[in-house]
């Protein structure tokens, strides 16, 4: 995948999520003493970033996942 393709498909949204995450550090410092901090915003960001990475890796490496019940 070319860099421009990445930016067109995934990069812009991922960079927006990264910026939102960095903004949260204005309110909760990145420190081991804050590792147990919870907020709905952190939950949303972690879920969104994970989903974006999942989409990227599935596209980039053509992962096939067989779900068995």
Confidence of residue 66 (pLDDT cuts 50, 70, 90): low
Q: DSSP letter string over 2-69?
A: -HHHHIIIIIHHHHHHHHHHHHHTTTS-SSGGGTT---HHHHHHHHHHHHHHHHHHHHHH--------
At 43 the pLDDT is 93
Q: What is the pLDDT of residues 46-62, one digit of tens each?
A: 999 999 888 878 877 77
Asked if residue 28 has pLDDT above 70, the reply is yes
């Amino acid at each position: 995948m070319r860099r421009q393709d990445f930016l067109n498909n995934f990069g812009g949204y991922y960079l927006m999520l990264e910026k939102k995450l960095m903004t949260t550090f204005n309110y909760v410092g990145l420190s081991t003493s804050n590792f147990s901090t919870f907020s709905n915003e952190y939950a949303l960001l972690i879920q969104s970033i994970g989903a974006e990475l999942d989409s990227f890796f599935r596209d980039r490496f053509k992962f096939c996942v067989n779900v068995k019940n």
